[in-house]
Structure 1
Amino acid sequence: MAKIEFGKPLRDDLIHRLSRFLDRELDCEASALQAGFLLDFISEHLGPHYYNQGVRDAQTLFQSKLEDVVYEIEKPILD
């Protein structure tokens, strides 16, 4: 899987949100640099788990839809 890369505006926003979360919820101040390192860690180590779960969810949905389509296009067998 390719490394997750965010554009600068999105990355800056995510860093700001992460820094604010750390301060408000954990009473831990983090600089933009520190929050950026944490974002990189989360992206690298947790991101693939979220991605893979999304792939599995999509696979389940597609499989269900495929079964519906197959049922709809099957021809009835007359005795």
Structure 2
Amino acid sequence: MPDIKFSVAQKDQLVEKLQRYFSHELDFDLGQFDGEFLLDFISKEMGSVYYNQGLYDAQAVLTERLDSLTDVILALEQ
């Protein structure tokens, strides 16, 4: 899987969420540099797990829709 790339705006937004989480939940001030470093680590080390889960979820939805379509076609058969 290729590296996950974020736009500058996306990266800023994600780092801000990390900073807010660290501040509220851990009472720790996470700086911009450390936040970006943490985001890069999470993306590199864990991003593929989330990506793959998204693929599995999409596959399950498509399978369900195709099964439904098959049922409709069978009902239309004469």
TM-score range, shorter chain: 0.7 to 0.9
Aligned letter for 1:40?
D
- RMSD of aligned C-alpha atoms? 1.1
Corresponding residue for 2:64? 64
Q: TM-score, normalised by structure 2?
A: 0.88
Which of the two has higher C-alpha Rg? 1
Q: May I ask how many residue pairs the two structures share in their alignment?
A: 76
Corresponding residue for 2:2? 2
Q: Can you give the 5+ residue segments of structure 2 that lack an aligned partner in the other structure? A: none
List structure 1 segments (4+ residues) > 3 angstroms apart after TM superposition: none
Q: TM-score, normalised by structure 1?
A: 0.87
Q: Is 1:20 paired with 2:20?
A: yes
Q: CA deviation at 1:71?
A: 1.4
Within 5 A, what are the aligned runs for 1:30-45? Answer: 30-45=30-45
Which protein is richer in helix relative to its size?
2
Aligned letter for 2:29?
E
